[in-house]
Amino acid sequence: MKRRQLIKNLGLGGVALVATPTVLSLLQSCKSEPIFNPIFVNNTQGRALRHIVDLIIPSDEAIPGAVDLGVHEFIDMYWNDALLEEEKALIPIAFNALADRLQDATGKTFENADAEDFDAILSKYLKISPEQEKTYQEKMMQFYRSYDNDKTVTPDPDAGTYSLVTDVRGMTIWGWKNTEKIGEEVLAYTPIPGQQKGCISVEEATGGKAFSL
């Protein structure tokens, strides 16, 4: 894969999502089951993915969370159905980086780590300074350049973990907001064609809610 194509990606975990009919069809086909049987990542990686997605948008008494709506299944299917083969090869590399840092931080693996362990990883990599973000991004760029010529190279584990969890966060938020349940029942929803009203407040327009689309 050429570096310019890799740069278009958000990172190791996914690409910039656009609400195309194909992507929305993938999303709406997801129904969260008690047992997650991933079709792209392996079962232990799927367990890690589900924990991360659940921590990013958990459920509460009023609103279902991302796992409740099958967003983890959507991410797995998206990786399987929408990525190029060269892009798919990067996903296991990302999970290897995450597994490395999880082991270092907790002494646990994907198989026996719990939500608290994954939460510690998210806190470490999603609450960093802009300077640290820039450092990780530069390290990922170095990895991409090397990977163009040598498919055996691996990214810096911290940078790879940062790339994966930030991408999964973005995909989780996008997927959750664009589910039918959230888009039509929780966020403000106006079927197209809508009505144009200029110079009014958000409170007046939608009761303070963001639009789903």
**Where in the chain are the domains?**
3-178
In this predicted model, what pLDDT tens digit does every residue of 76-132 receive, in sequence order? 999 999 888 988 999 999 999 999 999 999 999 999 999 999 999 999 999 999 999
- Is 51 within 8 Å of 66 (Cβ atoms)? no
pLDDT of residue 198: 61
pLDDT of residue 125: 96
For range 7-31, the mean pLDDT: 60
pLDDT of residue 19: 62
Mean pLDDT of the chain: 82
Q: Which of 32-41, 66-75, 151-160 has the lowest mean pLDDT?
A: 32-41
pLDDT of residue 192: 55
pLDDT of residue 167: 93
- Is 52 within 8 Å of 114 (Cβ atoms)? no
Where does the chain show beta strands of DSSP type E? none
pLDDT of residue 14: 55
- Identify which has the larger pLDDT, 202 or 36: 36
Threshold 0.85, pTM exceeds: no
- Give CA separation, 31 vs 24, 71, 170, 190, in Å: 13, 9, 20, 24
pLDDT of residue 21: 64
pLDDT of residue 194: 57
